[in-house]
A = this chain, B = another copy of it.
């Protein structure tokens, strides 16, 4: 007799991480089945244990947790480099051992979908390698909401993560992405640490051609949410200030 294995359950978080002001009710942003599933999980792997406990308190206010918060197992993922290569090299298989004992394991990020633009993909990869079922619960992704709201090409797009911080490398990368976008009509999406939002916008406007369109989305799903899409010429003639404390998604499409 063998115990049935548990699954690795990808649990979406809300998109209000680290943003001051009142967060929306969790049930306003996430579907009821997501909240029910999250409340039932007793084993978690998390990008950040503290924000996971905050998430679970919001869940508990809607659907009682299966076990008191302090009895839940919450293990943090090892920190990965924010590099283009993504997966860290550590063997994450031990984090999956509760699934071998029949427990479902929740994987959760600080915001949005786990394993997208965060270090969780390596755990999902390990689950596939040892034959643990992976279940993705529906939830919002700031990247895709920004793409939808941009009006740029949603039939071909790429997310390229962070641009280099160093000025010469950054301007070279911006020109490379514009050339790629022109050749393939592919929207290029990127993110930045919020205090560098203005610096990234300035660099985009300085190095892109006048007819290339640039879109910026800030604070999606919040009352203060905005998306502006305009040509480089339009942004330059009519500047917008960006908040320095709210995550933004930037995208460009060569015009």
Contact = CB atoms under 8 A, between A and B. Distances in A.
B155 A84 contact: yes
Taking residues whose C-beta sits less than 8 angstroms from the other chain, chain A's interface range is 35 or more
In the complex, the count of this chain's copies comes to 2
A157 B158 contact: yes
Contact of A154 (B27, B86, B135, B144): B86
Nearest to A186: B158
A179 interface: no
Nearest to A143: B144
A145 B113 contact: yes
Contacts of A124: 148-151, 229
Interface of A: 10, 15, 24-25, 27-34, 82-87, 113-118, 120-128, 133-141, 143-161, 184-186, 217, 220-221, 225-230
Given A87-B153, A144-B144, 13 more contacts: A15-B138, A25-B32, A28-B32, A29-B33, A31-B31, A85-B185, A86-B155, A121-B150, A124-B151, A125-B152, A128-B151, A135-B149, A141-B141
